[in-house]
Amino acid sequence: MIRKLKSGEYRLYSRKVDPRTGKRRNLGTFKSREAAEKHEREVQYFKRH
């Protein structure tokens, strides 16, 4: 899940809510949406391999 920040950067959040905090885990901040989407695909691949 990618959200745009006020600073113009994009932050990647986990899809599931973290049970300890009740929020989504931050998986990294990126300058461009393409970079965030690329990393999201890498994360999904890593989870399955």
With respect to residue 8, please indicate whether it lies within any of the assigned structural domains. Answer: yes
Task: Give dist(CA 41, CA 28) in Å, integer.
Answer: 13
What is the CA 29 to chain-centroid distance, rounded?
7
With respect to residue 49, please indicate whether it lies within any of the assigned structural domains. Answer: no
Task: Judge whether 5 and 11 are in contact, CB under 8 Å.
Answer: yes
Q: Give pLDDT tens digits along the chain (49 positions).
A: 999 999 999 999 999 999 999 999 999 999 999 999 999 999 999 989 8
How many structural domains is the chain composed of? 1
Task: Judge whether 9 and 22 are in contact, CB under 8 Å.
Answer: no
Task: Give dist(CA 5, CA 8) in Å, integer.
Answer: 5
With respect to residue 27, please indicate whether it lies within any of the assigned structural domains. Answer: yes
- Domain of residue 2, residue span: 1-44
**Can you give the pTM of this predicted structure?**
0.84
